Amino acid sequence: MEQKSRSVLNAAVIVASLGYFVDIYDLLLFSIIRIKSLTDLGLNEIQIRDTGLQLLNVQMAGLLLGGILWGILGDKKGRLSVLFGSILLYSVANIANGLVHGTHGYLLWRFLAGIGLAGELGAGVTLVSEILPKEKRGYGTMLIAALGIAGAVVAGFIAEIFNWRSCYFIGGGLGFILLLLRIGILESGMFTAIKEKKVSKGNFVALFTNRARFLKYIKCILIGLPSWYVIGILISFSNDFATALHVSGKIVPGTAVMVSYAAISLGSLLSGYLSQVWKSRRRALLAFLGLTTVFTVIYFSAKGVSPFLFYVICAGLGLGVGYWAIFVTIAAEQFGTNMRATVATTVPNFVRGLLVPISLFFKMLTDHFSLLGSGLSTGLLCLAIAFMAAFAIEETFHKDLNYLEELV
């Protein structure tokens, strides 16, 4: 393990990891300081709720749009173009977020920050997957996910120490430092080899014009479904579920988020490592989906437990969905060099976007059933869909990525 770890700790892996760190830092930071910032801007309770929802929606729209734009750019102009462009836009937007004095500006800059953040993970995973030998690329993407998720923990501490404007300034400053660190990083040799070839690159529409290609793409998205169910429903509303479960003390969602994200970071390391040891992405994926299922059942069975034990269960859920490294690696490995950045960048952002239909389905159930029954039913459905996609998806551990996708 030591020798293999040293061989993947190159500049590209490090800067890609730090890019995802900034990505997660910002996404969680915004969730933490959203109410504080809107209160400081003079909004009342109703306005805070409505504008807060608008901010979440425009940020999500930015992530979805940015995922498509950066993915196409990554396949047409190169992986480095995305790594430089996305972090530059994010850095400017984040500093501007700290300077806003009204909701219109706040909405605009959160939208642009979302676009900027959308390219970080996909471009980083694509670059690392292409520059590392196939027997070691899992270690590279494992480190990206593990270090990146740690950004959530840092965001929690930063938000406790500084005011909301300073938190945004720190995020923007980190982005500019990262921009400087990326100078000198070399482009993927696989992309360079096809750069001047007359071949279709970054054709997003082509993902939907061929049945086999479309199904492969959809499976890449669906295996990530439980991750945002856990974070967006079980962890974000952990206080409400704890009340329904008669947990013996107060549960703070912010604490549950930090605990779960710390466990996700550990899960990213463990899932990536096991995929290398087992020489199978699918086996590691299925193992962690199984772990998520177990802790989901435990979560809804935790009636009357102490707050400490409930937080431990939240950590177990985080560990279970720590297969994020495997999930994005599988997506990158499924497609040829001329489509890889498009897929690897859009897939994680589309999974984030799936929180919207998941939330709507959960809300629909709560209109007719109990909170606990609705939450468990939603989770089991998400897990069942993910399991079916995981069993059907191609094993890619030994796959040579130096090939082109035939777009006909």
Please indicate, yes or no, whether residues 171 and 305 belong to a single structural domain of this protein.
Answer: no
Number of Cβ atoms within 10 Å of the Cβ of 328: 29
Provide the domain limits for residue 358.
206-408
List the helix and strand counts (H, then E) for the chain.
19, 0
Residue with tokens 């190169």: 78
Q: Are residues 173 and 29 in the same domain?
A: yes
Query: 262 in a domain, yes or no?
Result: yes
Last-in-domain residue among 144, 168, 183:
183
Mean pLDDT, residues 164-184: 92
The whole-angstrom separation of Cα 19 and Cα 40 is: 29
Q: Which of 52-61, 105-114, 365-374 has the lowest mean pLDDT?
A: 52-61
* Mean pLDDT score, 290-308: 97
Does residue 60 have a pLDDT over 50?
A: yes
Are 247 and 362 members of one domain? yes
Residue 111 lies in a domain: yes
Question: Does residue 190 fall inside a structural domain?
Answer: no
> What pLDDT is recorded for position 186?
82
Give the DSSP letter string of 215-239: HHHHHHHHTTHHHHHIIIIIITTHH
Predicted confidence (pLDDT) at residue 171 exceeds the cutoff of 90: yes
DSSP 199: S
> What pLDDT shows up at residue 408?
61
Q: Are 248 and 170 part of one and the same domain?
A: no
Same-domain check for residues 162 and 211: no
pTM listed for this prediction:
0.87
Give the number of other Cβ atoms within 10 Å of residue 272's Cβ. Answer: 27
Domains: count for the chain? 2
The CATH number of whichever domain residue 242 belongs to comes to 1.20.1250.20
Q: What pLDDT, on a 0 to 100 scale, did the predictor assign at position 281?
A: 93
Residues 388 and 286 occupy one common structural domain:
yes
- Residue-level pLDDT at 4: 40
Domain match, 175 and 298 both: no
Residues 85-117 as b or e (16 or more Cβ within 10 Å = b): bbbbbbbbbbbbbbebeebeebbebbbbbbbbb
pLDDT digits (tens, 9 = 90+) for 331-346: 999 999 999 999 999 9
The pLDDT mean for the chain works out to: 89
Q: What's the pLDDT tens digit per position in 235-284?
A: 988 989 999 999 999 998 878 888 998 898 889 889 989 999 999 999 99
318, burial (CB in 10 Å: exposed 0-12, middle 13-18, buried 19+): buried
Q: Which residue has the higher pLDDT, 172 or 196?
A: 172
Q: Where does a domain end: 131, 148, 183?
A: 183
CA 192/CA 322 separation, integer angstroms: 32
Q: How many residues does the chain have?
A: 408
Under 8 Å between Cβ of 137 and 329: yes
What are 5-43's pLDDT values in tens digits? 346 778 888 888 888 898 888 888 887 888 889 999 998
Is there a domain that residue 199 lies in? no
Determine the Cα–Cα distance for residues 374 and 84; give it in Å rounded to an integer. 43
Instruction: Evaluate the CA torsion angle 259, 64, 142, 391 in order and state its sign.
Output: positive
For the segment 196-233, what is each residue's pLDDT rounded down to a tens digit? 788 888 889 999 999 999 999 999 999 999 998 999 89
* Residue of higher predicted confidence among 7 and 63: 63
283 and 407 assigned to the same domain:
yes
CA distance linking residue 324 with residue 292, whole number of Å:
12
The three-state secondary structure class of 287 is helix
Residues 178 and 296 in one domain: no
Residue 195 in any domain: the answer is no
The confidence score (pLDDT) of residue 51 equals 85
Domain closes at, from 127, 149, 183: 183
- Banded pLDDT at 1 (limits 50, 70, 90): very low
Q: Are residues 164 and 210 in the same domain?
A: no
- Give the position of tokens 């300073």: 166
Residues 175 and 245 in one domain: no
Q: Same domain for 284 and 395?
A: yes
Per-residue DSSP letter, 280: -
How many percent of the chain have pLDDT more than 90? 51
**Domain-located, residue 192:** no
The 8-class DSSP code of residue 369 comes to S
Does 188 map to a domain? no
Q: Which two tokens stand for residue 233?
A: 């429903």
Look up residue 104 and give its amino acid.
Answer: H
Quick: pLDDT tens for 105-137.
999 999 999 999 898 888 888 888 888 888 888
Q: What is the largest CA-CA distance in the chain?
A: 65
- Residue 284's nearest CA partner among 300, 266, 297, 272 is 272
196 lies in some domain: no
